[in-house]
Amino acid sequence: MDTGTLIRSARQRAGLTQTRLATKAHTSAPTISAYEHGTKQPRSDVLLRLLGAAGFEPMLAPVTTGNGRYVDLFCDALAAHVREHPDVLEQARLELDRMRPSDNVDAWRSLLDAGPSAVVAVLTSRDPDARGLKADNPFARLGLVDEDTRLDLMERARAR
């Protein structure tokens, strides 16, 4: 995602106009427009200020490659399914009963009890602490991601 798209997306998700974001970030609406259209690039400190004014706290995370990248992409696809079909949480609970006992099983039970938004937050997290949970999740065995999509995700993970 380019910088302009990132700024526009953050602004729109926050429900802000260019003028309101400019006021909150101590800049001008024409400057916001120039950033969003790619005719001007903000310095990194300005970008952080704009995103903060839109209510986002940017986080630096290591770039994942190989298997870690695949796990991220696969879990993103699982999260999309959970968002569209929250009833799949019941299937995941049954799958937990079949998984070998581990700390991850207990953590997933708690997440399932917390509901779809908590599950999606972990599945889409890029936090290194979430990697173990993502790699050992009850949704992976449910066949929610078809084979063609899974192969496409593997190819995308290798391409990076």
- As a whole number of angstroms, the distance between CA 17 and CA 89 comes to 37
pTM of the predicted model, to two decimals?
0.58
pLDDT at residue 147 greater than cutoff 70 = yes
In this predicted structure, the answer to whether residue 67 has a pLDDT above a threshold of 80 is no
> Is there a domain that residue 93 lies in?
yes
pLDDT in tens, 91-119: 999 999 888 887 789 899 999 999 999 99
Tell me how far the alpha carbon of residue 73 is from its chain's centroid: 10
Across the chain, mean pLDDT equals: 90
Tell me what pLDDT residue 102 has.
Answer: 77
Evaluate whether residue 60 is within a structural domain: no
pLDDT score at 63? 58
Q: How sure is the predictor about 82, in pLDDT bands with cuts at 50, 70 and 90? A: very high
Q: What confidence category does residue 135 fall into, taking pLDDT thresholds of 50, 70 and 90? A: confident
Write out the DSSP string of 48-83. Answer: HHHHHHTT------PPP-HHHHHHHHHHHHHHHHHH
**Of 77, 149, 141, nearest in space to 108 by CA:** 141
42 and 102 both lie in a single domain: no
Asked whether residue 28 falls in the same domain as residue 96, the answer is: no
The reported pLDDT for the residue numbered 62 is 58
Query: Are 70 and 35 in the same domain?
Result: no
pLDDT at 66: 67
User: How many domains, in total, are found in the chain?
Assistant: 2
Average pLDDT over residues 122-148: 89
